Amino acid sequence: MILIGGTATNGIDDSLSKILSVPSVKVENKIFPDGESYIRIPISVKNEEVVLVQTTDYPQDKHLIELFLMSETIKDLGAKKLTVIVPYLAYSRQDRRFKDGEAVSVKTILHLLSEVGIDSLVVVEPHKPEEISHFRGEIKIVHPYIQLSRKIRELTTNPFILAPDRGALERARQIAEDLGASYSYIEKERDRNTGEVRIKDIPNMTLKDKDVVIVDDIISTGGTVAQASKLAYSLGAKSVIAAAVHLLLSNNAKERLVQAGVKNIIGTNTVKTEDKDIIVVDISYSIASVL
């Protein structure tokens, strides 16, 4: 096996190299004056099984184009098998047409990935697991719940796991069961024209003296989590923690969460963050377990 680190890995390639005891190399890349990407694979991959690591966080379009270029080049150079690890899959939230005429973006991305020589695709916590079926090769999905649970256990004494909607309830259930905690979900409505979210209620639960942990796959602007935090405190919560696999934290999201009373923000290294206040959990062992 040859392990290749792409242009965006957040150190996951280095961690996998140590865990799997296999050598790793970095692709050579640069940006031309007109903004286009240059890619070169610096070693021979002929007749080799290659594992490529490339996340697609911001800037998403650049990282996706580079992923396409790296993948097809590796297969063109004679690799026997190409496994691509995409810790964060961009465009995964646009998984259907919410309004007439919209692109189903994740379908297009996965169709393109199917055409550049990838034999096996590893994705960490896709927005909806069923959407990955648009990829036409082997699919492996990683759910890093154990790593998140360990960190939550360190930070809480009386945890209560809260999903931001009914669709995230299974994630909340698995983390809650690992912690021996109760769990529930928030009822909410989203305006598809404005994107505004209105939280209605937390069904049939008391949060008095609980360390409420709001868990999701992605936290982007943090609007839903901020509203949920305020509601949790109004129902007697002792503290609120926000935890997500992919912490995008767009448009002053961190400040929004802190102002809403969120005490800790937990994420993973699927997405790059340089904020020292964010607690980042390494999920490389979970990825290594499926290779």
Catalytic sites, residue numbers: 188
A 10 A CB-CB count for 101 gives 5
Q: Are 223 and 250 in contact (CB under 8 A)?
A: no
Instruction: Tell which residue, 190, 178, 240, has the closest CA to residue 214.
Output: 240
- Is 49 exposed, middle or buried, given 0-12, 13-18 or 19+ CB atoms closer than 10 A? middle
Instruction: Tell which residue, 8, 122, 11, has the closest CA to residue 54.
Output: 8
Cis peptide upstream of residue 164 (ω within 30 degrees of 0): no
d(CA 90, CA 88): 6
Structure tokens at 48: 């080799």
Q: Characterize 61-72 residue by residue with b for buried, 16 or more Cβ atoms within 10 angstroms of its Cβ, and e for exposed.
A: ebbbbbbbbbbb
- The single residue listed with the structure tokens 């379908």 is 107
Largest CA distance in the chain: 61
